[in-house]
Amino acid sequence: SQKIEQNSEALNIQEGKTATLTCNYTNYSPAYLQWYRQDPGRGPVFLLLIRENEKEKRKERLKVTFDTTLKQSLFHITASQPADSATYLCALDFTGGGNKLTFGTGTQLKVEL
Amino acid sequence: NAGVTQTPKFRVLKTGQSMTLLCAQDMNHEYMYWYRQDPGMGLRLIHYSVGEGTTAKGEVPDGYNVSRLKKQNFLLGLESAAPSQTSVYFCASSYSRGGGTEAFFGQGTRLTVV
């Protein structure tokens, strides 16, 4: 079956460091992959989308890589700040174009002063 | 800009009661979705709609019904609530086309069934 795996353990890092979160998927070759941020008690908020023919995408302090051979995406936050503390979700459309997203369980990031 | 609005935000039901969750979007999106989020399970798709008058089952549809009579609204119904339906429910919407478009989420409805 198709699965998305994200590290369930919280990631604690010091302010100013780069946070790296991992998203692994199995049994599928998605055309694109998305990353969302979710704060406690709120709905997910879209951050970045990367397509299979894009190895890397950047937006301000955020960077996403997409390795279709390893079936893995890495999500980086450079110069992290306490305000970056949240849960980060990756999502794929396993149906191949119907825009029906399947989400990973998310990784909680805590940025400490 | 309202985006996606869910009503109500909180609700407590007794087992066997029924209720309807309302989702409204003002972005003229074709696609709308209902997810539930449980600890350790992530977001799971209940039902979705690819346009007005159409609905389809997602990953966990049992015990739920939906309707999309108007393009901007997507209703999720629980006919006979069960404790297993205690969860946080999120509605989302997105554009229909493209090689992947972002989903916009509502603020969630926290439902407790006792």
Residues with Cβ within 8 Å of B6's Cβ and at least 6 positions away in sequence, in order, are B21, B22, B23, B89, B90, B91, B106, B107, B108, B109
> Looking at residue A100, what is its pLDDT?
79
Interface test with B, best of A35, A87, A101 (most B CBs within 10 A): A101
Question: What is the pLDDT, as a whole number, of residue A87?
Answer: 97
Contacts of A37 (CB under 8 A, 6+ apart): A44, A45, A47, A86, A87, A88, A89
Distance in Å, alpha carbon of B82 to nearest chain A alpha carbon = 23
Chain A with chain B: Cβ pairs closer than 8 A: 62
C-beta atoms of B99 and A46 within 8 A? no
Interchain contact, B42 vs A106, CB within 8 Å = yes
Nearest-neighbour CA in chain B from A103: distance (Å): 6
> Mutate which of B10, B27, B43 to test chain A, going by most A C-beta atoms within 10 A?
B43
What token pair was written down for B14?
């007794």
Q: Given this model, what pLDDT does residue A14 score? A: 97
Each residue's pLDDT, cut to its tens digit, for chain A (113 residues) gives: 678 999 888 999 999 999 999 999 987 788 889 999 999 999 999 999 998 889 899 999 999 999 989 999 999 999 999 999 999 999 988 776 566 788 999 999 999 99
How would you class A26 by CB atoms within 10 Å of its CB: exposed for 0-12, middle for 13-18, buried for 19 or more?
Answer: exposed
What pLDDT does residue B96 have? 67
Q: Under an 8 Å CB criterion, which residues of B touch A?
A: 4, 31, 33, 35, 40-43, 45, 48, 50, 58-59, 90, 92, 94-96, 98-108
Q: Distance between CA atoms of A50 and A56, rounded to whole angstroms?
A: 7
- Cα–Cα distance for residue pair B7/A105, rounded to 1 Å: 25
Name residues of chain B where pLDDT drops below 50.
98-99
Q: Among B43, B19, B29, B41, which Cα is nearest to B104's?
A: B29
Contact criterion met (CB below 8 Å) for A51 and A64: no
- pLDDT in the model for residue A99: 66
